[in-house]
Amino acid sequence: MFAAKEPFTMKNPIFGFSKLTKTQKIDWIANHYFNHNPEATSILKAYWNDDPSLQKLHDDFIENTLSNYYLPLGVAPNFLINDTLYTIPMVIEESSVVAAASNAAKFWIQKGGFKATVLSTEKNGQIHLDYYGNKKNLELFFTEIKPLLFESIADIQKNMEKRGGGLLNIQLRNVTETLSGYYQLRCTFETLDAMGANFINSCLEAIATTFEAEAQKFKAFKDAQQFPKVVMSILSNYVPNCLVRAEVSCHVNDLEQNDINGTEFAEKMLRAVAIAKASPSRAVTHNKGIMNGIDAVVVATGNDFRAVEAGVHAYASKDGTYSSLTHASLENDIFKFWIEIPLALGTVGGLTSLHPMVKFNLQLLKNPSAKELMKIVAVAGLAQNFAALRSLVTTGIQKGHMKMHLMNILNGLQASETEKKKAVQHFKETTISQTAVSDFISSLKK
């Protein structure tokens, strides 16, 4: 719809783009990539917020903002977690995710609901070092300097310490067997209700500055070649000691489905999990389904879903092979299904205090602490996986998924409301596909 009338070839780059006004940026994009097509400008402006102050707020989240990119905000009700009932907000574009979560919540609410426990909340970051001298000298220096490294961040962590958090420990790690000359200062932190990325990075950089300055004074480092040098200082999104567990359990008889008894269903579920543990190619899709639920809540609450994704997938490989994040057992006629997952989340700072929808969603969740949010997010992932496996081992995944996807296909075909109603009725008993729906709408138009 917005294609240029003729191909455009960029001959010269643009410098200083970020210094242009938003209108100038939009005009430049429209002129250079859409051949002055006014529709390109119109679609960008159509998604501006009518409230100028809210639009300005969104403009300031990132650089070179042109417009807003909307994703649906849905809710999954009836989540009973630790005997408290929640309605969980989810931001996602994929059909059937919210419906699947809602179905899982409904399934388990009569069976005691979900139980969730935070196992640990430790986060970490590293100061990465180059050092080719005598390792004993570096160890001696670190032992001597360690108290001063703590002192160097006293001002930075003053408020965090008042709330009960802060730097927990600093360890010197020798990683030279993996990479020549490579050492780490591994720092662990408690950041309470803050995700803590900026706090951790500020602490690491201050520690690194003190470390290098003091190294210059240490007599055992005889010359420039012997000095340890800081390569970089950065937090890690791999947080295996920031763990939460979520689980469901019930008597096997309570798992009975329409056309399958409880024992058979439980055994199929166990086999499905076992396959995801044994096959990385299956585990990736298995875990992606888990992340459908997790990411949707992480985005809705203003947290960093890319950091969560990276850390979770690394955790799935912690034993040397990429494997399932969920587990299942059947013992003494009790079926259990659970997940242990690393989640570094925050409920203060960042977008949590800026984005109006994030504020709304956190209030919908009863203004949880970071620990409470960890539990809710883990439950969302477990519920999503249960719903997916339940479909896979019974009716198949496409029946429910394509039913939800039907409306997207109809909208893409620009079907009228009357045509949509007829299509929904027709495809109740007919296999849904892009071609089948297209042919059906074409037949109606004829």
Query: So which residues are the catalytic ones?
Result: 94, 288, 304, 401
Return d(Cα 155, Cα 162) in angstroms, integer.
12
Q: How many CB atoms lie within 10 A of CB 93?
A: 10
What single letter denotes the amino acid at residue 296?
A
Q: Is 70 exposed, middle or buried (0-12, 13-18, 19+ CB in 10 A)?
A: exposed
Closest CA to 338 of 243, 436, 200, 443: 243
Let me know: does 305 contact 295? Beta carbons within 8 Å. yes
Q: Is 433 exposed, middle or buried (0-12, 13-18, 19+ CB in 10 A)?
A: middle
**DSSP string of 309-337, one letter each residue:** HHHHHHHTTTTSS---SEEEEEETTEEEE
Let me know: does 410 contact 419? Beta carbons within 8 Å. yes
Q: How many CB atoms lie within 10 A of CB 420?
A: 16
Return d(Cα 323, Cα 270) in angstroms, integer.
14
Return d(Cα 128, Cα 140) in angstroms, integer.
18
